[in-house]
Structure 1
């Protein structure tokens, strides 16, 4: 059966499309313009670190230190170049995600139905929309068949509104959702000219809410910035007191400000999240907003549908039960005359253009078994959409002579309930439902009705139905699904199965799939009758939720959230929309998911593979862990720089200005790539997915973690101060002391970047996690240090001296002691953990 569209609906040709686009524009909402390279560079140059570099360059030029000024300008170009590279990578990743998230729309052009990206719809296009799809432009219906729309996005009212070409209300609007039927509408407004576009235009000034992690990081950076200002003023004052040299005092203060300012942290956050989302996209996981990556690692409960998620969604017709002769027929018998009626009515109760696998199967079986195919002779004149608890649906088809098929299908309990059956007959039907359910089969009850008038009852349940039997589908669990659930359980994540199927079928499939606690079951009707306290306890204890309807699904998600769980909800239908929207992570299916489900979700699995969600959760944990490592590294390495710049001055040591801005900026050039490029590329630690999820309310750095990073920094500080005094007492001049302190700090930085790859495993075990970028950064740093020590022109510029082998060994030895004590700490920590278990 094909979509019967009047012949006069031919649509636009290519010239008309282009002319309309020139007149009315693209079908896009007003959005902030994409950042070009000039705007991106301007934003980067506003960063505090770059402003400091510009100020220092000006000071050097004003006092005649042209070499230092040139170095600062080169450093300015390098730092801005690194930031530009990172920002452009992040923005390109986000733009790629935007393109993938754009839905396709069906339009009629030159009498042919084609699919186009939604932004290419133009005024005058003929758009086709059907059940479960988002309407993507404003227009007037020119053809429809029992078409209803949910306009909650505009009106706030969630009920379905009937619309049609011959009705008073014949207009549809962008952003609303088709609930049932099918329609063709002529586009009259696109983009900002649509009703929702005008609303959206008034909201462009609204700032998107930041995630808890973003807020925590911002607070930390602001705190460090305030500290930097205070210490800057203090250093300027102390230096002025000793030297009465304003330019030197200002340079010293700016040097310390540069050492305190942790500008790498917000850059690292943006880079980690955007590139994380981009990498997941390449694996078939489309994330609509990069901050979702952060939440994924905290998932504690996965609420999953059964059909197509746990099962193959193959919907193979296994058997047909004929109620009239009380007999079940296997596949080889489907063409017998006794089944013609039930197969025929099962097909007529399906959509004319089926998208559901069961309905596709019923159309195929009908074509293969019926003596005469009547589908092209009948059109649907009335439709009752899927509704009720349990649900059912009814279709009315009629031919030119007035002959009708009134067919219903749905949950077998629902069909039996509306049919004219005695209590004994209902018990017989119930026993068959249980028997098939225990085998894991999915059942649809089928019934027929007769109605001669045109004023159909408001509810389908009011029609007189004759029970015909069941169509029995076999939809086995996916291969490898047991292993997926095993890994989910090992990750400390609970699984709840939420399905519209009956209890027996759901229980059998859950058992075959390895769901822990599958016998702990509750129904949607029971959920609906519970108080809030009862519901919160029930969702904590139960695992299997059968015969669920939209309100019950939403209630379960909200109750889990109130219990403090971080919920990932998987859904594919229109009725899953509210629950997907309410969950922390709404997950839609890319293949069988409706546009409504995809619009409500924050994440789309392109191949409907539940295992991909596990991949996403693992990526979320890896990214969060690596971001934390990067921030702890930044804190630890900044402390000794601050100490080296400030303490000799405050204590009145022989060489108070041991580091100048050129030394600090070199260290910044080493630290920037390490934290935001190297750590972002760090592989996941081997026990990451065997740990329990972190609470979403947990602060980014606990006091214990922050204290550990501060201690690491202070121990390195003690090491470089020891080298300072050792070199000075051995008779070293300012350049020798500076070189020893600087070299020790470079070695400590390299060792710290290696040690902090894991806060649990040893540095040697971490070598098994291959990270080629780390090797590149360390190799480059060592080569640059060698040039600074042994190339005369470079050494002279940085005011350093050559070091002999003993001095190099001393610098490395002190760096090793000041960093590698952490390896002993990790060993003791692991030993205590083993003995405790």
Structure 2
């Protein structure tokens, strides 16, 4: 970024910065304190599972079973340790994201412009702010060009306020947004001393809403907890009625309650979302709220701005159209004297300190083509900011020495044709030229001049009598590889809408070059203002290109798509994109060329402006959603045999009613917890995931079909365990042997279930090829612990079971395999039927039709 800042603005020296920071501190608003490790631990100890473990440990201590009590205490440490590790890992990932979200600020120090983290701004600093930036400290303007600011965050007023050295109020405030122009201000207050700090507002204090998936999971877990309480009371009562032993019946009831409570699910959800956001951060995608990860995978419509999103935003000046000669001059012919006036007024209508790519090009071409640079001789005495539909802007300069006045305007060609003194025939000819150049993907700006001797300037710039001079013709080429990005988006079943302020012809040309599929005419922003809600919905369904769109129109279209049950991702980088970015389910801002307003409004920022990263984000969202479903289905399936193995022998009056005690249940919980929340989170994306249509956000995280599959899986494992129970008992096995067979079968079934549920479509032989280093580690540790429990006498005695022979182990494994691997046949049948019913057309062909 290069600005022609007045030389007398030197800023603070390094010594002055240190002295200021020592006196006034750093530019931070103190929000609610971060969770300490102690508060994290305290929250974990309030979890229902930990409370159950503590209750069981107390009971064992009361009855004098100190070994079991010690194991329970160890389990408390292990469970809380795993939860603490997960929570701390999630917290650190989110803190890293928060750190990356801090914007950089531009300051002048020791006569040099540098960029610093916003929290390092010191009182006395000279800060440079420009269109699209959020002001980060309170201060007073010392230099400005066409500067206006939106102070709605402080005043509630949505209108922008024009400020300069000449205006009565030249103060700027932290948290307000620059709508136009540029200003240099001297910092007077930072952090808590700013107006915003005193009000006590902070982005960090905003509470994010629960996502639909989070709400569904919370509801499910609460429902299971209620069932657990009811069943606990029933079993406790029934057991006490049978045995008359209150302590023993209480332990049976608590064992069942522990087996019912799916406490792994909320831990898994938090882990998946936080680590998903952290992994995306490493890919160059900053997620501001971890729940956005979940929404990404459900995206059904991508609304994209054109300039800087589809295109490079380089704005190369390709040609100049001179109205007097009715001739188009290509690059290389700009030194022709005929063009001098057009180039001069195009430059004068730009900002004296340009920050827009097109305005920078116009200043550059002025420098290259004019014999004498007279910019230093003129001073801007009045300006009309960019406004109107379509927009235009006007600048008035004066040379005091020669008493010469220049009035220059530029803007959308239609706007300049409307205010210039032209005949209808001339306008028709110019519109034909606009259309012809627009079809080639060029962006045009009309340029005009005016004469006005008096100082009582009209209130509106459109009231000047303008003389039309010609067009500046810019070309902003599509980004390299953008066609492949849109192909992947279409393959994923996602629709694309282009919502831009540019003309229909230019947008059509760029859309065609970028590979955007379009078979309907473009719609102009002015056309949609008076449409009803129903008409907007119909329009949003059939239209792909929306042109000459202003902020309100962009917002209307995003809201219309949302009301039509679309999950909308809005891509943009400018000030005019901010309302739509805020309203969309996922606002996506560009990190390099995006304005601070766009980044503040967005929920996701692509660091290097590479649109392909959005495809990466959508893929990550789908992978995470798919994996969390697998984890939850695994939890449901494995909980069912634990619950029924604890309860059925009791209710059916079998010879060994307490086949499992809290010790066995908690051991199983310790295996299942890491499997669902750590191992499944690390699963790669299944092939064809990005060839499927997005899921509906209104879907429950498990539909009845998926839930019924998990229940059937659980019941089949239960069937296998009960068969082992009866078989061992009929073979003359005592309680310890029966428990060993049941326990071993359940461990084997758990391992096989975790492997077969890695995919609900592809076979276990296919999924074994998936790269997930955590699976072999968890399986190996589980088998080693099982071997220790079975064959180390002290462990076997503690778990009240005995070592098994090779034949018994094989029997247990065979029963576990049959009770789990039937699902592989189901998947094979499902694959065969999907091949037989596969449509002949691809998704892309369907979209084209």
Short-chain TM bin:
over 0.9
Q: Is the 8 A contact 1:2 1:352 kept in 2?
A: no
Q: Which residue of 1 aligns with 2:844?
A: none
Paired with 2:451 and 2:272, the residues of 1 have a C-alpha distance of 63
Deviates more, 1:756-765 or 1:405-414: 405-414
Deviations 1:636-674 (CA, angstroms, capped at 9, x unpaired)? 111111111111122221111111222111111111111
Query: How many angstroms does 1:627 deviate by?
Result: 0.8
Alignment of 1:491-506 (within 5 A): 491-506=492-507
Query: How many angstroms does 1:156 deviate by?
Result: 2.8
Paired with 1:22 and 1:114, the residues of 2 have a C-alpha distance of 21
Q: Which residue of 2 aligns with 1:338?
A: 338
CA 1:766/1:202 → structure 2, altered by over 3 Å: closer, same or farther?
closer
Deviations 1:590-616 (CA, angstroms, capped at 9, x unpaired)? 122111111111111112222211111
Q: Which residue of 2 aligns with 1:293?
A: 293
Paired with 2:318 and 2:184, the residues of 1 have a C-alpha distance of 36
Q: Is the 8 A contact 2:520 2:542 kept in 1?
A: no
Deviations 1:85-112 (CA, angstroms, capped at 9, x unpaired)? 1111111111111111111222333444
2:547 maps to 1:583: no
Q: What is the DSSP-based 3-state SS (H/G/I as helix, E as strand, rest coil) of the residue aligned with 1:350? A: coil
CA 1:723/1:492 → structure 2, altered by over 3 Å: closer, same or farther?
same
Alignment of 1:701-716 (within 5 A): 701-716=702-717
Paired with 2:206 and 2:364, the residues of 1 have a C-alpha distance of 51
Query: How many angstroms does 1:322 deviate by?
Result: 1.4
Q: Which residue of 1 aligns with 2:755?
A: 754
Q: Which residue of 2 aligns with 1:130?
A: 130
CA 1:764/1:397 → structure 2, altered by over 3 Å: closer, same or farther?
farther
Paired with 1:803 and 1:101, the residues of 2 have a C-alpha distance of 57
Q: Which residue of 2 aligns with 1:413?
A: 414
Q: Is the 8 A contact 1:138 1:187 kept in 2?
A: yes
Query: How many angstroms does 1:15 deviate by?
Result: 5.0
Q: Which residue of 1 aligns with 2:700?
A: 699
Paired with 1:512 and 1:404, the residues of 2 have a C-alpha distance of 44
Deviates more, 1:669-678 or 1:604-613: 604-613
2:175 maps to 1:175: yes
Q: What is the DSSP-based 3-state SS (H/G/I as helix, E as strand, rest coil) of the residue aligned with 2:448? A: strand
CA 1:669/1:375 → structure 2, altered by over 3 Å: closer, same or farther?
farther
Q: What is the DSSP-based 3-state SS (H/G/I as helix, E as strand, rest coil) of the residue aligned with 1:389? A: coil
Alignment of 1:286-325 (within 5 A): 286-325=286-325
Query: How many angstroms does 1:21 deviate by?
Result: 4.1
Q: Which residue of 1 aligns with 2:680?
A: 679
Q: What is the DSSP-based 3-state SS (H/G/I as helix, E as strand, rest coil) of the residue aligned with 2:332? A: helix
CA 1:204/1:358 → structure 2, altered by over 3 Å: closer, same or farther?
closer
Deviations 1:421-477 (CA, angstroms, capped at 9, x unpaired)? 111111121111111112122222222233344443222222222222112122222
Paired with 1:89 and 1:670, the residues of 2 have a C-alpha distance of 19
Alignment of 1:191-270 (within 5 A): 191-201=191-201, 207-270=207-270
Q: Which residue of 2 aligns with 1:466?
A: 467
Paired with 1:674 and 1:251, the residues of 2 have a C-alpha distance of 27
Query: How many angstroms does 1:377 deviate by?
Result: 4.1
Q: Which residue of 2 aligns with 1:360?
A: 360
Paired with 1:151 and 1:250, the residues of 2 have a C-alpha distance of 63
TM-score (norm. length: structure 2)? 0.94
Paired with 1:2 and 1:525, the residues of 2 have a C-alpha distance of 35
Paired with 1:140 and 1:672, the residues of 2 have a C-alpha distance of 57
CA 1:514/1:716 → structure 2, altered by over 3 Å: closer, same or farther?
same
Paired with 1:15 and 1:65, the residues of 2 have a C-alpha distance of 69
Deviations 1:116-174 (CA, angstroms, capped at 9, x unpaired)? 22222344433222222111223333433332111222333221112233322222222
Paired with 2:203 and 2:420, the residues of 1 have a C-alpha distance of 52
Equivalenced residue count is 836
Q: Is the 8 A contact 2:145 2:351 kept in 1?
A: no
Q: What is the DSSP-based 3-state SS (H/G/I as helix, E as strand, rest coil) of the residue aligned with 2:720? A: helix
Q: Is the 8 A contact 2:145 2:352 kept in 1?
A: no
Paired with 1:658 and 1:17, the residues of 2 have a C-alpha distance of 72
Paired with 1:624 and 1:694, the residues of 2 have a C-alpha distance of 10
Deviates more, 1:163-172 or 1:39-48: 163-172
Q: Which residue of 1 aligns with 2:637?
A: 636
Deviates more, 1:201-210 or 1:115-124: 201-210
Deviates more, 1:147-156 or 1:593-602: 147-156
Query: How many angstroms does 1:748 deviate by?
Result: 0.7
2:278 maps to 1:282: no
Q: Which residue of 1 aligns with 2:806?
A: 805
Q: Is the 8 A contact 1:412 1:445 kept in 2?
A: yes
Paired with 2:398 and 2:813, the residues of 1 have a C-alpha distance of 89
Alignment of 1:758-769 (within 5 A): 758-769=759-770
Deviates more, 1:753-762 or 1:309-318: 309-318
Q: What is the DSSP-based 3-state SS (H/G/I as helix, E as strand, rest coil) of the residue aligned with 1:516? A: coil
Q: What is the DSSP-based 3-state SS (H/G/I as helix, E as strand, rest coil) of the residue aligned with 1:723? A: helix
Alignment of 1:59-78 (within 5 A): 59-78=59-78
Paired with 2:371 and 2:677, the residues of 1 have a C-alpha distance of 68
Paired with 1:207 and 1:598, the residues of 2 have a C-alpha distance of 18
Q: Is the 8 A contact 1:484 1:611 kept in 2?
A: yes
Deviations 1:162-205 (CA, angstroms, capped at 9, x unpaired)? 22333222222222111122223333333334333344459998
Q: Which residue of 2 aligns with 1:568?
A: 569
Deviations 1:42-81 (CA, angstroms, capped at 9, x unpaired)? 2222222222222222332333323222222222222222
CA 1:61/1:342 → structure 2, altered by over 3 Å: closer, same or farther?
same
Q: What is the DSSP-based 3-state SS (H/G/I as helix, E as strand, rest coil) of the residue aligned with 1:254? A: helix
Unpaired runs of 5+ in structure 2?
839-849
Unpaired runs of 5+ in structure 1?
none
Q: What is the DSSP-based 3-state SS (H/G/I as helix, E as strand, rest coil) of the residue aligned with 1:386? A: strand
Query: How many angstroms does 1:267 deviate by?
Result: 0.7
Q: Is the 8 A contact 1:406 1:448 kept in 2?
A: yes
Alignment of 1:534-545 (within 5 A): 534-545=535-546
Q: What is the DSSP-based 3-state SS (H/G/I as helix, E as strand, rest coil) of the residue aligned with 1:538? A: helix
Paired with 1:433 and 1:557, the residues of 2 have a C-alpha distance of 29
CA 1:407/1:566 → structure 2, altered by over 3 Å: closer, same or farther?
same
Q: Is the 8 A contact 1:448 1:467 kept in 2?
A: yes
Q: Which residue of 1 aligns with 2:104?
A: 104
Query: How many angstroms does 1:331 deviate by?
Result: 1.5
Q: What is the DSSP-based 3-state SS (H/G/I as helix, E as strand, rest coil) of the residue aligned with 1:333? A: coil
Alignment of 1:11-90 (within 5 A): 11-14=11-14, 16-90=16-90
CA 1:396/1:779 → structure 2, altered by over 3 Å: closer, same or farther?
farther
Q: Which residue of 2 aligns with 1:829?
A: 830
Name the Cα RMSD after superposition. 2.1
